[in-house]
Structure 1
């Protein structure tokens, strides 16, 4: 329905602009002062019309590259022209087949656009109960990490297996966790309960946690926010946020909690207007102040010391913290943690690589990890995630 409406409005707009450019009416002569901008609009409208006819999506960067051979223009001017056209046509950009470049990623077990993600079996339903065992990674016929496309919609996901939706701030952390989703480092096998080599099988830990992982590589784009909103509201998954212990990490969590699906200028209908704001009741899984200043404390000759590397807050950080504490949409429990711990220092998720997350385990220092494989530090991160999720279950 919206596709036909978009084509109709684009064609009407082109006719209107051509009439203005060719008119000799004195009343329209003043519009010719911006002939260059009108010409740019015509070029962009032609690109949009072609996209609609072929039902192909493109990014703002693609539009710029198609315009630049015919018109000397900057990326910023192109973006502004696209926004003006969308506003004049009263249609959101994704209806015009212009979407943001893909930035988010997801890993887990679900069906995305008819493709089984993370399941080494043609029978997706059967794979819920058991997964085949193999000695080579090539047995995974389907990808276990996908890029979330800019034109994502809720109908793209048709089936999901998972209870918790782990939202990770940083791509580096996501890649570490996702890499061990199915492959056991010690025996190089697909996920199974017992590791043949007698070592630690990260895959068994993943099976127990029953996760789907998502990252927006920092602040999420609209597609990633829509992806999270779909899994939480359509498939009733429990969203858990794993971010740096700093003001930007808190802001990323609040972005997921109170995000917007469509531009404010969209007037495409009452149903879509009601979907502008997406509320996701995300739980702050970590990193917490108590993890830094209580859970991992080491007793030294000079007193207690946190093994997690700490950084001092900048002036900008303190300004952001003040804004967070005054924000009524930030949960009171979060504010309490910030007021208690985030006063002088901040910490990053990467610090967990070298910290044992088990409450009763001793800290594994960086010196003991030297010469060891990278996977030894990854298991500490997975243990931390496990302990936090299990703690959340009993909260």
Structure 2
């Protein structure tokens, strides 16, 4: 197994305590297994049903949060269906244990490629790591497992990474990749007036090319390139905690775009056990709003019919608990459902090539066109 060459620093006392707790939590799991074997019983691991909405409660100040009395499932070592997963969980627990002991780090991708035949797919590793984090009640980043970052950031922002590298995100044609260890960044400096989360990389790059970060007022732009990875969500939350400036989202006017915005704002069911570290309920929906389609008289040939899958996703989202406290969101979803037409942000180019940066965003930000 090859570890990633992330910077290793002397552990401070509080990190030693955290690492000691992680090692202790893993040792408790192994102790239970050994005890079961000593009693001639097949060992069992108990995991939370992370995809069960019945385990979730909604709090306006936090988002989707896992309840304390959650339902669980048993991973039995003597069951042909669950025994392989039982073995893989122990394998990854052993990897985590060694990394915590040695103060080294690896990405989920590193773990997968250490034995691709054993794990089968990257998604298997991803799910098991999240199951372990939830089972141990320890944030994944504290387990010394990092994600391969896909998100980008640009604009009026500078900070220092954990290894002392100074990063300047001054807006240019090239954005900065979201750091792999968001928890370790410090000395955050910005004069930005707001943060804009952009759904797609293509739109993000177009705004960079138009020098949007500097034209209206200094701002920070972030993209998760679709569904955001954990590091991008952590960075949005860290900037909110540090800067206390408004955060807006720019998404496609379709169910997928709305769902991505909800992940940033209220979190996801599968990661609800970490909601306090990942969600930013103060995020506002700037656009593209379904009501904008008719208001701006966007041409019909720039619109796309909702697929059956889109309609099913939208109907499911309309039943989610956070929609009840967002009447304007509910209205926008009803407009989308009634029209049965969706629009990508790029549809604004049917009005003019630079309409997004020159007209749409400035007017929205100056006159409060968000919900």
Residue 19 (structure 2) pairs with residue 3 (structure 1): yes
Name the CA distance, whole Å, in 1 between partners of 2:316 and 2:357. Answer: 32
Q: How does 1:64-213 map to 2 (within 5 A)?
A: 64-68=112-116, 71=118, 73-79=120-126, 81-83=128-130, 85-114=132-161, 115-119=166-170, 145-153=175-183, 155-156=185-186, 158-181=188-211, 206-213=214-221
Deviation by residue 1:165-217 (Cα, 9 ceiling, x = unmatched): 11111111112212443xxxxxxxxxxxxxxxxxxxx6xx7342322111121
CA distance in 1, matches of 2:283, 2:369: 14
Matching residue within 356, 368, 371 for 1:392:
368
- Report 1:178-257 matches (<5 A): 178-181=208-211, 206-257=214-265
- What is the CA-CA distance between 1:220 and the residue it aligns to? 1.9
Bigger Rg, structure 1 or 2: 1
Cα deviation per residue 1:307-358 (whole Å; 9 max; x = unaligned)? 66011122222233333444442321222234346522111111223423xx
Contact kept, 8 Å, 1:57 with 1:97, in 2: the verdict is yes
Which of 348, 355, 366 is the matching residue for 2:351? 355
Decide whether aligned partners of structure 1 residues 5 and 319 sit closer, same or farther in structure 2, where only a CA change above 3 A counts.
same
Alignment match, 1:28: 40
Q: CA deviation at 1:287?
A: 1.5
Whole-angstrom CA distance in 1 between matches of 2:310 and 2:329 = 16
- Is 1:58 the counterpart of 2:106? The answer is yes
CA shift digits 1:9-55 (9 cap, x unpaired): 446656776x679x7x5x23745858976765554334223422443
Instruction: For structure 1, list consecutive stretches of 5 or more residues without a partner in the other structure.
Output: 121-139, 182-201, 267-272, 298-305, 357-376
The residue matched to 1:107 in structure 2 has which SS? strand
Task: Decide whether the 8 Å contact of 1:209 with 1:386 is kept in 2.
Answer: no
Alpha-carbon distance between aligned partners in 2 of 1:157 and 1:262, rounded to the nearest angstrom: 32
Q: Is 1:49 the equivalent of 2:49?
A: no
TM-score norm. by structure 2 comes to 0.69
Distance 2:293 2:365 in 1: 17
Distance 1:41 1:119, change over 3 A: closer
CA drift of 1:93 comes to 2.2
2:286: which partner in 1?
285
Is the 2:198–2:223 contact (alpha carbons within 8 Å) kept by the matching residues of 1? yes
User: Greater relative contact order (Cα 8 A, min sep 6): structure 1 or 2?
Assistant: 2
SS in 1 for 2:114: helix
Of stretches 247-256 and 84-93 in structure 1, the one that deviates more from structure 2 is: 84-93
The separation in 1 between residues aligned to 2:32 and 2:288, in whole angstroms, is 55
Asked whether the equivalents of residues 48 and 96 of structure 1 are also in contact (C-alpha less than 8 Å), the reply is yes
Shift of 1:97: 1.0
TM-score of the pair, normalised by structure 1 = 0.65
Cα distance, 1:74 vs. partner? 4.8
Q: Which runs of 5+ in 2 are unaligned?
A: 1-16, 44-76
